[in-house]
């Protein structure tokens, strides 16, 4: 999917919601366990209930790999039913050097080889340029680089200041801006830090930002939009638990839809406020 197509979807759906598919078999309604592939059945119902309200889906690969071959099968089947008008993100946080990064790109982008053809993949920056560049060789595919994450340990390294007082996550964005463009690069920025978006936007005014941490992790949608939105929206805000685990009963899909509607409505307000729609 191109940047223009993504922006168009945001305007059509009046939403910049990304739904995380971190499907944990221990947390899904028990009646689904009778199916042959409960994780896939859960995802299918969540997707059906939310696809008109969100512009992206983001399965985290760890939740599939942890069941080995069976889990990889659920991921494969889930990818196959992701609506084509939604931006698909393999939240895999891969990072390896040149030749090996090529293999990871093939794993998540090249449907003919691997069976998976996601629009994008999350990538860890620690190994530097040659761990990211191979992902940018694929037409209309994206690398989403970890910049500033919202977890507790993020400060361990991401906030280290160099001799010029520049923090590591800023250096990551500065360098990565040379590797790609706003047409094929996004950054992950945790939403628990509203003020951090000011710094991020200084370095990356035009890039889309993938923002986890709104809702369950404590970030405020309004804060993120105040500091992080740009003229094209420039935000994909991810919600996972608040949507997919809105209910543990038979009504889980219905409740997921209700939660998604609340977020979509709040996002619509922000898009109107910013004169984007």
> Which residues in this chain contact a copy of itself in the complex, by CB under 8 A?
22, 60, 62-63, 65-69, 71-73, 76, 93-98, 100-101, 103-104, 106-107, 110, 113-116, 124-132, 146, 149, 151-158, 160-163, 165, 168, 171-172, 175
Minimum CB distance to a copy of itself, residue 76 (Å): 6
- If the CB atoms of residues 140 and 156 are measured against a copy of itself, the closer one turns out to be 156
- If the CB atoms of residues 81 and 97 are measured against a copy of itself, the closer one turns out to be 97
The number of beta carbons lying within 10 Å of the beta carbon of residue 253 is 20
Residue 257, sorted as left (phi over 0), alpha (psi -120 to 50) or beta, turns out to be: alpha
Minimum CB distance to a copy of itself, residue 36 (Å): 16
- If the CB atoms of residues 9 and 43 are measured against a copy of itself, the closer one turns out to be 43
- If the CB atoms of residues 72 and 227 are measured against a copy of itself, the closer one turns out to be 72
Minimum CB distance to a copy of itself, residue 27 (Å): 11
Q: One of 44, 77, 93, 255 is an active-site residue; which one? A: 93
Minimum CB distance to a copy of itself, residue 90 (Å): 10
Closest CA to 247 of 18, 32, 81: 32
Residue 221 exposure: Cα atoms within 13 Å on the Cβ side: 19
Q: Which residues contact 50 (CB under 8 A, 6 or more apart)?
A: 19, 243, 256, 257, 260
18 CB-contact burial (10 Å; exposed 0-12 / middle 13-18 / buried 19+)? buried
Which residues participate in catalysis according to the annotation? Answer: 93
């Amino acid at each position: 999917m191109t940047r223009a197509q993504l922006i168009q979807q945001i305007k059509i759906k009046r939403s910049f919601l990304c739904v995380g598919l971190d499907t944990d078999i221990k947390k899904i309604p028990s009646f689904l366990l009778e199916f042959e592939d409960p994780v896939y059945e859960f995802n299918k119902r969540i997707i059906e209930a939310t696809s008109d309200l969100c512009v992206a889906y983001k399965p985290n690969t760890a939740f599939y790999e942890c069941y080995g071959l069976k889990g990889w099968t659920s991921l494969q089947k889930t990818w196959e039913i992701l609506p084509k008008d939604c931006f698909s993100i393999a939240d895999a946080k891969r990072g390896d050097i040149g030749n090996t990064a090529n293999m990871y790109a093939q794993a998540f982008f090249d449907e003919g080889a691997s069976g998976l053809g996601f629009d994008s993949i999350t990538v860890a920056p620690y190994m530097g340029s040659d761990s990211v560049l191979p992902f940018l060789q694929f037409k209309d595919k994206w690398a989403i680089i970890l910049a500033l994450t919202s977890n507790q340990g993020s400060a361990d390294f991401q906030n280290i200041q160099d001799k010029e007082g520049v923090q590591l996550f800023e250096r990551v964005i500065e360098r990565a801006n040379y590797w790609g463009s706003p047409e094929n690069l996004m950054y992950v920025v945790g939403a628990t830090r509203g003020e951090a978006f000011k710094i991020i936007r200084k370095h990356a005014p035009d890039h889309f930002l993938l923002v986890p941490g709104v809702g369950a992790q404590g970030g405020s949608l309004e804060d993120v939009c105040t500091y992080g939105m740009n003229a094209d929206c420039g935000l994909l805000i991810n919600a996972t638990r608040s949507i997919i685990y809105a209910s543990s009963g038979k009504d889980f899909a219905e409740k997921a839809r209700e939660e998604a509607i609340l977020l979509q409505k709040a996002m619509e307000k922000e898009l109107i406020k910013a004169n984007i729609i």
